[in-house]
Amino acid sequence: MMQDHVFYDCTTAPSPRRARMFLVEKGLTVPTEQIDLRKGEQLGDAFRAINPRCTVPALKLPDGTVLGDNASIARYLEEIRPDPPLMGRTPVEKAIIAEWNAIAESEGLLAIAEVVRNSLPGLKGRALTGPRSYDQIPELAERGRTRIEQFFDTLDRRLASTAYLGGEAFSVADITAFVAVDFAGWVKLAPNKNQRALIAWRNALAERPSARA
Ligand SMILES: N[C@@H](CCC(=O)N[C@@H](CS)C(=O)NCC(=O)O)C(=O)O
């Protein structure tokens, strides 16, 4: 239990889920505060003072430092709790895992966010996260759908030759891609039945206790 830390979460949102899964895989528990994104609590003065970028997850450290992104949170947790390693052991493993995590984020999560944020009526005027307001661009939602199909294909090809995205060991890259595949369900997109390697990997990950986080 990391009593002297505070984790800022929103149970329904995909980004904090990545950090929650990482914590479970490390066997760590942290006192948690829920930020209600539907009510706009992330934009209020209280949370803005914690994370001026107005997003969750965030992690407050004992010295008051706030980590405001999955990248920094994962890096920190890996340093303070190296086992089990989720970001690789050898230089090559670390590099490949970083590459696949970046792919899952930029080609997966961001493509899905492009669809969700530019099409859901509840996100009108909120097409990007953060303190400023941005209008939706319907063409971006269309483009995002094509990108998600391409992302599923990229995952399926990779997983046809390796057990996990980073190689033979489960890693943070799997967490990011797994969260992305579930997030695609928000806009009714899922792997097709011919993407067998992707489906088998997804089903295996769903059995891990962290999948319920
Ligand atoms: N790069 C950030 C992205 C975090 C992010 O986009 N979080 C969303 C929830 S999934 C959020 O806080 N949204 C606030 C909003 O919609 O205003 C990370 O992964 O840590």
Q: Pocket residues for ligand 1 (CB within 6 Å)?
A: 13-15, 37, 42, 54-57, 69-70, 126, 129
Rounded distance from Cα 57 to ligand 1 centre (Å): 7
CATH number of 6-80: 3.40.30.10
CATH fold, domain 91-212, is: Glutathione S-transferase Yfyf (Class Pi); Chain A, domain 2 (1.20.1050)
**Residue 149: band (very low, low, confident or very high) from pLDDT cuts 50, 70, 90:** very high
User: Domain ranges in the chain?
Assistant: 6-80, 91-212
145 Cβ contact list (under 8 Å, min separation 6)? 115, 187, 189
Give, for ligand 1, the residue of 10, 20, 55 to mutate: max count of ligand atoms closer than 8 Å to Cβ.
55
Q: What is the pLDDT of residues 86-97, one digit of tens each?
A: 999 999 999 999
pTM for the whole structure = 0.98
Q: What is the pLDDT of residues 85-138, one digit of tens each?
A: 999 999 999 999 999 999 999 999 999 999 999 999 999 999 999 999 999 999
Going through the chain in order, the beta strands assigned E by DSSP cover 6-9, 32-34, 58-60, 66-67
What is the structure's pLDDT at 1?
A: 81
